[in-house]
Amino acid sequence: MTTIATEKTEAERAASPAAGVKAAGMPSSADSRSADAHSAGTGAVLRPAPSATPAQPASAPKHAPAETPKPAPSDPEASGAARTQAAPPPAFYTKDLSVFYGEKQAIKHVSMAFPDRQVVALIGPSGCGKSTFLRSLNRMNDLIPGASIQGEIWIGGQNICDSKTDVVRLRQKIGMVWQRPNPFHKSIYENVAFGPRYHGVKSKAALDQLVEECLRKTALWDEVKDRLHQSGLALSGGQQQRLCIARSIAVKPDILLMDEPASALDPVSTAKVEELIAELKQDYTIVIVTHNMHQAARVSDKTAFFFLGDLVEYDETNKIFTNPSRKSTDDYISGRFG
Ligand SMILES: Nc1ncnc2c1ncn2[C@@H]1O[C@H](COP(=O)(O)OP(=O)(O)OP(=O)(O)O)[C@@H](O)[C@H]1O
Ligand SMILES: [Mg+2]
Protein backbone atom coordinates (compact mmCIF):
# COMPACT_ATOMS: atom_id res chain seq x y z
CA MET A 1 0.00 0.00 0.00
CA THR A 2 1.38 3.39 -0.98
CA THR A 3 1.31 6.25 1.44
CA ILE A 4 0.91 9.51 -0.41
CA ALA A 5 2.92 12.32 1.13
CA THR A 6 0.81 15.38 0.45
CA GLU A 7 0.97 17.21 3.77
CA LYS A 8 -0.51 20.69 4.05
CA THR A 9 1.76 23.58 4.97
CA GLU A 10 1.15 25.24 8.33
CA ALA A 11 -0.32 28.25 6.52
CA GLU A 12 -2.77 26.09 4.58
CA ARG A 13 -3.75 24.25 7.71
CA ALA A 14 -4.29 27.46 9.63
CA ALA A 15 -6.61 28.64 6.86
CA SER A 16 -8.74 25.49 6.98
CA PRO A 17 -12.05 25.61 8.88
CA ALA A 18 -10.97 22.90 11.30
CA ALA A 19 -8.02 25.01 12.38
CA GLY A 20 -10.42 27.65 13.65
CA VAL A 21 -12.22 25.04 15.65
CA LYS A 22 -9.01 23.91 17.28
CA ALA A 23 -8.06 27.49 18.07
CA ALA A 24 -11.42 27.94 19.77
CA GLY A 25 -10.52 25.23 22.24
CA MET A 26 -12.76 22.53 20.82
CA PRO A 27 -11.52 18.98 21.07
CA SER A 28 -8.85 19.33 18.43
CA SER A 29 -10.57 18.70 16.61
CA ALA A 30 -16.03 -3.67 -0.77
CA ASP A 31 -16.68 -6.02 -1.71
CA SER A 32 -19.73 -7.57 -0.04
CA ARG A 33 -18.00 -10.77 1.09
CA SER A 34 -15.40 -8.73 2.94
CA ALA A 35 -18.05 -6.50 4.42
CA ASP A 36 -20.10 -9.47 5.55
CA ALA A 37 -17.22 -11.20 7.27
CA HIS A 38 -16.25 -7.94 8.86
CA SER A 39 -19.81 -7.32 10.01
CA ALA A 40 -19.67 -10.57 11.94
CA GLY A 41 -16.59 -9.27 13.68
CA THR A 42 -14.37 -11.92 12.17
CA GLY A 43 -12.49 -10.04 9.49
CA ALA A 44 -11.99 -13.53 8.09
CA VAL A 45 -11.41 -12.50 4.49
CA LEU A 46 -9.62 -9.28 5.21
CA ARG A 47 -6.26 -8.42 3.78
CA PRO A 48 -3.29 -8.33 6.12
CA ALA A 49 -2.31 -5.08 7.78
CA PRO A 50 -0.12 -2.73 5.74
CA SER A 51 3.54 -3.17 6.34
CA ALA A 52 4.48 0.39 7.22
CA THR A 53 3.43 2.74 9.97
CA PRO A 54 1.85 6.01 8.77
CA ALA A 55 4.39 8.44 7.41
CA GLN A 56 5.37 11.25 9.72
CA PRO A 57 4.60 14.73 8.41
CA ALA A 58 7.54 16.65 7.04
CA SER A 59 6.83 19.48 9.45
CA ALA A 60 5.20 18.54 12.72
CA PRO A 61 1.64 19.83 13.09
CA LYS A 62 0.72 21.93 16.13
CA HIS A 63 -0.96 18.96 17.69
CA ALA A 64 1.83 16.52 16.92
CA PRO A 65 1.90 13.63 19.35
CA ALA A 66 4.57 13.38 21.98
CA GLU A 67 7.57 11.32 20.89
CA THR A 68 6.33 8.42 22.97
CA PRO A 69 2.57 8.43 22.47
CA LYS A 70 0.68 8.08 25.72
CA PRO A 71 -2.59 6.18 26.18
CA ALA A 72 -5.79 8.15 26.02
CA PRO A 73 -6.12 9.22 29.67
CA SER A 74 -2.82 11.11 29.66
CA ASP A 75 -3.42 12.93 26.40
CA PRO A 76 -4.91 16.22 27.57
CA GLU A 77 -5.68 17.59 24.15
CA ALA A 78 -7.61 14.60 22.91
CA SER A 79 -9.28 13.80 26.21
CA GLY A 80 -10.39 17.33 26.87
CA ALA A 81 -8.60 17.22 30.22
CA ALA A 82 -7.06 20.59 29.47
CA ARG A 83 -10.53 22.05 29.78
CA THR A 84 -12.00 19.91 32.52
CA GLN A 85 -9.70 18.17 34.97
CA ALA A 86 -12.35 15.60 35.82
CA ALA A 87 -13.30 14.80 32.22
CA PRO A 88 -13.32 11.03 31.76
CA PRO A 89 -10.94 9.63 29.17
CA PRO A 90 -12.41 9.12 25.71
CA ALA A 91 -13.12 5.65 24.39
CA PHE A 92 -10.83 6.48 21.50
CA TYR A 93 -9.50 9.41 19.54
CA THR A 94 -7.92 10.35 16.25
CA LYS A 95 -4.91 12.57 15.93
CA ASP A 96 -4.14 14.46 12.73
CA LEU A 97 -5.87 11.77 10.69
CA SER A 98 -5.79 12.08 6.92
CA VAL A 99 -7.16 9.59 4.41
CA PHE A 100 -6.25 9.49 0.73
CA TYR A 101 -7.60 7.74 -2.33
CA GLY A 102 -4.53 7.81 -4.56
CA GLU A 103 -3.51 11.44 -4.46
CA LYS A 104 -6.95 12.73 -3.56
CA GLN A 105 -7.22 13.68 0.10
CA ALA A 106 -10.68 12.75 1.39
CA ILE A 107 -10.05 13.42 5.10
CA LYS A 108 -7.83 16.30 6.22
CA HIS A 109 -5.97 16.28 9.52
CA VAL A 110 -8.91 15.34 11.70
CA SER A 111 -8.34 15.16 15.46
CA MET A 112 -11.35 14.27 17.54
CA ALA A 113 -12.13 12.36 20.72
CA PHE A 114 -15.09 10.00 21.17
CA PRO A 115 -16.48 9.93 24.71
CA ASP A 116 -16.97 6.53 26.28
CA ARG A 117 -20.51 5.18 25.96
CA GLN A 118 -21.87 8.16 24.16
CA VAL A 119 -23.26 8.54 20.66
CA VAL A 120 -21.40 10.79 18.23
CA ALA A 121 -23.17 11.74 14.99
CA LEU A 122 -21.18 12.57 11.86
CA ILE A 123 -23.04 14.93 9.55
CA GLY A 124 -22.19 16.81 6.37
CA PRO A 125 -23.05 16.97 2.67
CA SER A 126 -22.62 14.02 0.36
CA GLY A 127 -18.98 13.36 -0.48
CA CYS A 128 -17.56 15.26 2.51
CA GLY A 129 -15.85 12.12 3.83
CA LYS A 130 -18.13 10.79 6.57
CA SER A 131 -18.01 7.16 5.42
CA THR A 132 -14.30 7.40 4.68
CA PHE A 133 -13.63 8.65 8.19
CA LEU A 134 -15.90 6.01 9.75
CA ARG A 135 -14.28 3.18 7.79
CA SER A 136 -10.82 4.33 8.78
CA LEU A 137 -11.73 3.86 12.46
CA ASN A 138 -11.48 0.08 12.14
CA ARG A 139 -9.13 0.01 9.18
CA MET A 140 -11.82 -0.95 6.66
CA ASN A 141 -10.19 1.42 4.18
CA ASP A 142 -7.34 -1.11 4.02
CA LEU A 143 -9.66 -3.06 1.72
CA ILE A 144 -9.87 -0.27 -0.86
CA PRO A 145 -7.11 -0.34 -3.48
CA GLY A 146 -5.16 2.93 -3.46
CA ALA A 147 -6.50 4.08 -0.09
CA SER A 148 -3.98 5.14 2.53
CA ILE A 149 -3.99 6.72 5.97
CA GLN A 150 -1.71 9.18 7.74
CA GLY A 151 -2.02 10.09 11.40
CA GLU A 152 -3.07 8.15 14.45
CA ILE A 153 -6.11 6.45 15.94
CA TRP A 154 -5.69 5.64 19.62
CA ILE A 155 -7.81 2.98 21.26
CA GLY A 156 -6.98 1.58 24.68
CA GLY A 157 -3.41 2.85 24.60
CA GLN A 158 -2.74 1.47 21.13
CA ASN A 159 -2.35 3.32 17.86
CA ILE A 160 -4.35 1.06 15.57
CA CYS A 161 -2.73 2.56 12.47
CA ASP A 162 0.39 0.72 13.55
CA SER A 163 1.39 -2.11 11.23
CA LYS A 164 1.49 -4.53 14.19
CA THR A 165 -2.24 -4.16 14.78
CA ASP A 166 -4.17 -7.42 14.59
CA VAL A 167 -6.99 -6.25 12.31
CA VAL A 168 -9.16 -9.30 12.96
CA ARG A 169 -9.10 -8.58 16.67
CA LEU A 170 -9.57 -4.88 15.96
CA ARG A 171 -12.72 -5.52 13.96
CA GLN A 172 -14.03 -7.72 16.73
CA LYS A 173 -13.64 -4.79 19.11
CA ILE A 174 -15.03 -2.22 16.66
CA GLY A 175 -18.16 -3.46 14.92
CA MET A 176 -19.70 -1.98 11.78
CA VAL A 177 -23.33 -1.71 10.72
CA TRP A 178 -23.89 -0.76 7.10
CA GLN A 179 -26.51 1.35 5.38
CA ARG A 180 -28.17 -1.65 3.73
CA PRO A 181 -28.90 -4.61 5.98
CA ASN A 182 -26.63 -7.45 4.85
CA PRO A 183 -27.56 -10.65 6.70
CA PHE A 184 -25.70 -13.79 5.69
CA HIS A 185 -27.53 -16.36 3.59
CA LYS A 186 -27.95 -18.30 6.81
CA SER A 187 -30.55 -18.77 9.49
CA ILE A 188 -31.36 -16.06 12.01
CA TYR A 189 -29.59 -18.17 14.65
CA GLU A 190 -26.49 -18.72 12.52
CA ASN A 191 -26.24 -15.03 11.64
CA VAL A 192 -25.74 -14.25 15.32
CA ALA A 193 -23.75 -17.38 16.24
CA PHE A 194 -21.28 -17.12 13.34
CA GLY A 195 -18.93 -14.53 14.87
CA PRO A 196 -18.73 -16.04 18.38
CA ARG A 197 -18.18 -19.50 16.89
CA TYR A 198 -15.39 -18.13 14.69
CA HIS A 199 -13.79 -16.65 17.79
CA GLY A 200 -13.89 -19.99 19.60
CA VAL A 201 -17.24 -20.38 21.37
CA LYS A 202 -18.01 -24.08 20.83
CA SER A 203 -20.64 -25.05 23.39
CA LYS A 204 -24.17 -25.17 22.02
CA ALA A 205 -25.59 -24.02 25.35
CA ALA A 206 -23.28 -20.98 25.38
CA LEU A 207 -24.16 -20.14 21.77
CA ASP A 208 -27.88 -20.54 22.47
CA GLN A 209 -27.59 -18.18 25.40
CA LEU A 210 -25.57 -15.64 23.43
CA VAL A 211 -27.98 -15.69 20.49
CA GLU A 212 -30.94 -15.10 22.79
CA GLU A 213 -29.12 -12.35 24.68
CA CYS A 214 -28.18 -10.48 21.49
CA LEU A 215 -31.63 -10.85 19.96
CA ARG A 216 -33.18 -9.58 23.19
CA LYS A 217 -30.80 -6.60 23.27
CA THR A 218 -31.85 -5.68 19.75
CA ALA A 219 -35.55 -6.10 20.62
CA LEU A 220 -35.88 -8.88 18.07
CA TRP A 221 -36.26 -11.94 20.27
CA ASP A 222 -40.03 -11.86 20.63
CA GLU A 223 -40.42 -11.40 16.89
CA VAL A 224 -38.14 -14.29 15.86
CA LYS A 225 -37.86 -16.75 18.75
CA ASP A 226 -40.22 -19.23 17.05
CA ARG A 227 -38.34 -19.19 13.74
CA LEU A 228 -34.69 -19.00 14.68
CA HIS A 229 -33.76 -21.53 12.02
CA GLN A 230 -35.42 -19.70 9.15
CA SER A 231 -33.32 -17.58 6.81
CA GLY A 232 -32.31 -14.15 8.06
CA LEU A 233 -33.18 -12.90 4.57
CA ALA A 234 -36.84 -13.73 5.17
CA LEU A 235 -37.10 -10.92 7.73
CA SER A 236 -38.32 -7.42 6.92
CA GLY A 237 -35.73 -4.73 6.16
CA GLY A 238 -36.02 -3.26 9.65
CA GLN A 239 -35.75 -6.67 11.26
CA GLN A 240 -32.75 -7.50 9.08
CA GLN A 241 -31.00 -4.35 10.23
CA ARG A 242 -31.64 -5.25 13.87
CA LEU A 243 -30.36 -8.75 13.11
CA CYS A 244 -27.17 -7.20 11.70
CA ILE A 245 -26.80 -5.14 14.87
CA ALA A 246 -27.33 -8.34 16.92
CA ARG A 247 -24.63 -10.00 14.81
CA SER A 248 -22.27 -7.09 15.48
CA ILE A 249 -22.71 -7.14 19.25
CA ALA A 250 -22.44 -10.95 19.44
CA VAL A 251 -18.64 -10.71 19.33
CA LYS A 252 -18.70 -8.27 22.26
CA PRO A 253 -17.28 -5.13 20.68
CA ASP A 254 -16.53 -1.94 22.61
CA ILE A 255 -17.40 0.41 19.77
CA LEU A 256 -20.11 0.32 17.11
CA LEU A 257 -19.76 2.22 13.86
CA MET A 258 -23.01 2.79 11.97
CA ASP A 259 -23.11 4.23 8.45
CA GLU A 260 -26.62 5.58 7.85
CA PRO A 261 -28.12 2.51 9.55
CA ALA A 262 -31.72 3.65 9.12
CA SER A 263 -31.67 5.37 5.74
CA ALA A 264 -33.09 2.33 3.94
CA LEU A 265 -35.81 1.78 6.55
CA ASP A 266 -39.42 2.90 6.95
CA PRO A 267 -40.29 5.34 9.78
CA VAL A 268 -41.42 2.62 12.20
CA SER A 269 -38.26 0.57 11.70
CA THR A 270 -36.20 3.76 11.91
CA ALA A 271 -37.77 4.57 15.28
CA LYS A 272 -36.92 1.06 16.50
CA VAL A 273 -33.30 1.40 15.43
CA GLU A 274 -33.11 4.79 17.16
CA GLU A 275 -34.56 3.33 20.36
CA LEU A 276 -32.03 0.57 20.09
CA ILE A 277 -29.16 3.03 19.77
CA ALA A 278 -30.33 4.75 22.96
CA GLU A 279 -30.29 1.34 24.72
CA LEU A 280 -26.97 0.21 23.28
CA LYS A 281 -25.07 3.28 24.37
CA GLN A 282 -25.24 2.00 27.93
CA ASP A 283 -22.75 -0.64 26.84
CA TYR A 284 -21.08 0.68 23.69
CA THR A 285 -19.51 3.81 22.29
CA ILE A 286 -21.39 4.53 19.06
CA VAL A 287 -20.47 6.59 16.01
CA ILE A 288 -23.31 7.10 13.56
CA VAL A 289 -23.32 8.74 10.14
CA THR A 290 -26.65 10.27 9.21
CA HIS A 291 -28.13 12.66 6.68
CA ASN A 292 -31.19 13.04 8.87
CA MET A 293 -30.70 16.11 11.05
CA HIS A 294 -33.63 15.18 13.26
CA GLN A 295 -32.13 11.78 13.80
CA ALA A 296 -28.74 13.27 14.71
CA ALA A 297 -30.47 15.59 17.17
CA ARG A 298 -32.51 12.73 18.65
CA VAL A 299 -29.89 10.04 19.06
CA SER A 300 -26.51 11.70 19.59
CA ASP A 301 -24.72 13.33 22.50
CA LYS A 302 -22.15 15.04 20.30
CA THR A 303 -22.22 15.99 16.64
CA ALA A 304 -19.38 16.55 14.19
CA PHE A 305 -19.93 18.55 11.02
CA PHE A 306 -17.65 17.61 8.12
CA PHE A 307 -17.19 19.58 4.92
CA LEU A 308 -14.82 18.73 2.04
CA GLY A 309 -12.81 16.42 4.27
CA ASP A 310 -12.37 18.94 7.08
CA LEU A 311 -13.85 18.60 10.54
CA VAL A 312 -15.49 22.01 10.66
CA GLU A 313 -17.16 21.86 14.06
CA TYR A 314 -17.53 19.29 16.83
CA ASP A 315 -19.54 19.97 19.94
CA GLU A 316 -22.45 18.92 22.11
CA THR A 317 -25.38 18.06 19.85
CA ASN A 318 -27.60 20.62 21.53
CA LYS A 319 -25.04 23.34 20.83
CA ILE A 320 -24.55 22.31 17.20
CA PHE A 321 -28.28 22.41 16.51
CA THR A 322 -29.16 25.53 18.48
CA ASN A 323 -26.11 27.76 18.43
CA PRO A 324 -23.33 26.49 16.17
CA SER A 325 -20.07 28.40 16.24
CA ARG A 326 -19.45 28.32 12.52
CA LYS A 327 -21.57 29.79 9.76
CA SER A 328 -21.14 26.80 7.47
CA THR A 329 -22.51 24.50 10.18
CA ASP A 330 -25.49 26.79 10.59
CA ASP A 331 -26.03 26.89 6.82
CA TYR A 332 -25.89 23.12 6.59
CA ILE A 333 -28.23 22.30 9.46
CA SER A 334 -30.63 24.98 8.24
CA GLY A 335 -30.74 23.32 4.82
CA ARG A 336 -29.11 26.24 3.02
CA PHE A 337 -26.68 23.87 1.29
CA GLY A 338 -25.88 20.20 1.00
N1 LIG B 1 -13.32 3.83 -3.01
C2 LIG B 1 -13.08 5.10 -3.34
N3 LIG B 1 -12.16 5.41 -4.26
C4 LIG B 1 -11.90 6.69 -4.61
N5 LIG B 1 -12.53 7.75 -4.06
C6 LIG B 1 -13.45 7.51 -3.13
C7 LIG B 1 -13.79 6.18 -2.71
N8 LIG B 1 -14.74 6.26 -1.75
C9 LIG B 1 -15.00 7.58 -1.59
N10 LIG B 1 -14.24 8.33 -2.42
C11 LIG B 1 -14.23 9.79 -2.50
O12 LIG B 1 -13.91 10.31 -1.23
C13 LIG B 1 -14.74 11.43 -0.92
C14 LIG B 1 -15.52 11.15 0.35
O15 LIG B 1 -16.44 10.09 0.08
P16 LIG B 1 -17.33 9.45 1.23
O17 LIG B 1 -18.03 8.28 0.64
O18 LIG B 1 -16.50 9.23 2.41
O19 LIG B 1 -18.36 10.64 1.52
P20 LIG B 1 -19.67 10.67 2.41
O21 LIG B 1 -19.61 11.92 3.21
O22 LIG B 1 -19.84 9.38 3.12
O23 LIG B 1 -20.81 10.82 1.30
P24 LIG B 1 -22.34 10.29 1.32
O25 LIG B 1 -23.07 11.16 2.28
O26 LIG B 1 -22.80 10.49 -0.09
O27 LIG B 1 -22.34 8.84 1.72
C28 LIG B 1 -15.63 11.65 -2.14
O29 LIG B 1 -15.04 12.63 -2.95
C30 LIG B 1 -15.61 10.31 -2.84
O31 LIG B 1 -15.77 10.46 -4.22
MG1 LIG C 1 -21.25 7.84 3.05
pLDDT in tens, 80-136: 444 456 678 899 999 999 999 999 999 999 999 999 999 999 999 999 999 999 999
Is ligand 1 within 6 A of the CB of residue 127? yes
Mutate to test the pocket of ligand 1, among 34, 128, 135, 263 (most ligand atoms within 8 A of CB): 128
Closest CA to ligand 1's atom 27: 126
289 membership: H or E segment, kind and range: strand 285-289
Cα 133 to averaged position of ligand 1 atoms, centre (Å) = 9
User: Rounded to an integer, what distance in angstroms lies between the CA atom of residue 147 and that of residue 323?
Assistant: 36
Closest CA to ligand 1's atom 14: 129
Is ligand 1 within 6 A of the CB of residue 106? yes
| Positions of E strands within the chain | 90-101, 104-115, 119-123, 147-155, 158-159, 174-177, 255-259, 285-289, 302-307, 310-316
User: Rounded to an integer, what distance in angstroms lies between the CA atom of residue 312 and that of residue 309?
Assistant: 9
Per-residue pLDDT of the chain (338 residues; tens, 9 = 90+): 333 233 333 333 333 333 333 322 233 333 333 445 555 666 443 222 333 333 333 333 333 333 333 333 334 344 444 445 667 889 999 999 999 999 999 999 999 999 999 999 999 999 999 999 999 999 999 999 999 999 999 998 999 999 899 999 999 999 999 999 999 999 999 999 999 999 899 999 999 999 999 999 999 999 999 999 999 999 999 999 999 999 999 999 999 999 999 998 889 989 999 999 999 999 999 999 999 999 999 999 999 999 999 999 999 999 999 999 999 999 999 998 76
pLDDT in tens, 66-84: 333 333 333 434 444 444 5
Is ligand 1 within 6 A of the CB of residue 30? no
Cβ–Cβ under 8 Å, residues 199 and 256: no
- Please give the number of the atom of ligand 1 that sits closest to the Cα of 146: 3
| pLDDT for res 30 | 37
Number of alpha carbons in the 13 Å side-chain half-sphere of residue 269: 16
Mutate to test the pocket of ligand 1, among 4, 98, 130 (most ligand atoms within 8 A of CB): 130
3-state secondary structure of 323: coil
pLDDT in tens, 34-44: 445 555 666 44
| pLDDT for res 259 | 96
Secondary-structure breakdown of the chain: helix, strand, coil percentages, each rounded to the nearest 5: 40, 20, 40
Phi/psi at 115 (nearest 5 deg)?
-65, 145
| pLDDT for res 76 | 39
Q: What is the pTM of this model?
A: 0.78
- Please give the number of the atom of ligand 1 that sits closest to the Cα of 260: 27
DSSP per-residue codes, 119-147: EEEEE-STTSSHHHHHHHTTTGGGGSTTE
Task: Tell the CATH superfamily of the 10-333 domain.
Answer: P-loop containing nucleotide triphosphate hydrolases (3.40.50.300)
Q: Where are the domains of the chain?
A: 10-333
Cβ–Cβ under 8 Å, residues 163 and 49: yes
Q: Which one-letter DSSP state was computed for residue 189?
A: H
Closest CA to ligand 1's atom 24: 126
Is ligand 1 within 6 A of the CB of residue 272? no
DSSP per-residue codes, 211-243: HHHHHHHTT-HHHHGGGTTSBGGGS-HHHHHHH
User: Rounded to an integer, what distance in angstroms lies between the CA atom of residue 265 and that of residue 128?
Assistant: 23
Calculate Rg over the CA atoms of the chain: 20
